[in-house]
Amino acid sequence: MMDSIDINVDHCNVSNNATYITLSWIVVGQFALGLPLNLSVLYIFIFRFKFWKNKSIFLFNIVVADFLLVACLPAKAYHYQRGQRRSPNYIMCKTMLFMVFLNRGASIAFLVMLSIDRYFNVVHLGRRNFVKVLKRSPLISVVIWLFLLPLTIPTMLNTFECCNSYGRVNNTFSQNVTDTSREVVFFAEILLPFIILVFCTVRIVHRLRRKTVGDKSKLRRASYVVTSVVVLFSVCFLPSTIARAVLLAMRVVRPEVENVAAQVYDSLMVLSYIDCLLDPLVYCFCHSGFKDAYVTTFCPVFLQKRLLKLEFSSGIGTTTTTNSSGARTFSLQMLDK
């Protein structure tokens, strides 16, 4: 029978400095690339694209969440450089956990809303779309942010980042409840949105393949864009989720390999931060109006014509038309939704 784990043992000190120094430089690289990218995207959304007039409130909130998460990365790199899995300062530790999980949760929540909206626009065109009604008001964005606040409470604990939870000596009932609620929030935040994204993507792609009106190449590109959302989500979030499940199991059944499992988990969590770099590329730059505004603002003149010409010749959208019999065919300007 495995011995229980002493609650007083500090599981936040790293067991392999080389691993965490490497991770710290990866985080620095993510920050160096993510900060200017997200700042430039926010600038376009606010001053050039005017997201509130272009029905892009969900996209804007995704970028805001990504930007706030990028802002936390220097602190993460600093602690990894010092051989710490998290800040030893109580307030700093709580603040980091709050920022990371609030903004990561917000990014995922608005992504799900965006996917549901596209699902109704393609699969159930013409029916009442409650998401379309909701996204017209900025209040829905405020409600989503407020709803996420209480979900961060279980994760704002030192024990989360260091996984000093299950397997402790003389666990109390309150400790077991806290541990369980924290893990339920963490896994539900990833697995439930993943199920919704897969469902919406499969239905959208199936509907596109059955569509007989429109440019086949454009419809095929639209399918690739929709599928890329699920691929991005899977690459960024699923590995760290699986690694945490393994880490929790190892703490109880094979504590001697916990240090290795912790390094794998932390490495895959760092991988999940790359979502802040990929979100603008997958969501924003596939939106033709946003892409035009970005290119004309930041790209040199000699590149502008080439990029805009390329978009015109290989756009992924189709247009709504009415045929001679009066039947309406739907449009799929996929990321303009």
> Could you tell me if residue 329 is inside a domain?
no
- How many structural domains does the chain have? 1
Burial 160-181 (b: 16+ CB within 10 A, else e): bbbbbbbbbeeeeeeeeebbee
> Could you tell me if residue 311 is inside a domain?
no
> Could you tell me if residue 310 is inside a domain?
no
Q: pLDDT at residue 57 above 60?
A: yes
> Could you tell me if residue 141 is inside a domain?
yes
Q: ∠ CA 17-20-23 to the nearest 5 degrees?
A: 150
Q: pLDDT class for 164, splitting at 50, 70, 90?
A: low
> Could you tell me if residue 259 is inside a domain?
yes
Higher-confidence position of 116 and 268: 268
Give the highest mean pLDDT range of 29-33, 174-178, 206-210.
29-33
| Domain span including residue 122 | 17-286
> Could you tell me if residue 30 is inside a domain?
yes
> Could you tell me if residue 312 is inside a domain?
no
The predicted-structure confidence for 246-300, as pLDDT tens digits, reads as follows 988 888 788 788 888 889 999 999 999 999 888 887 766 667 778 888 888 887 7
> Could you tell me if residue 330 is inside a domain?
no
Bridge partners of 13, per DSSP, are 84
Q: Token match 């035009």: residue?
A: 292
Which CATH number does the domain housing residue 43 bear? 1.20.1070.10
Q: pLDDT class for 234, splitting at 50, 70, 90?
A: very high
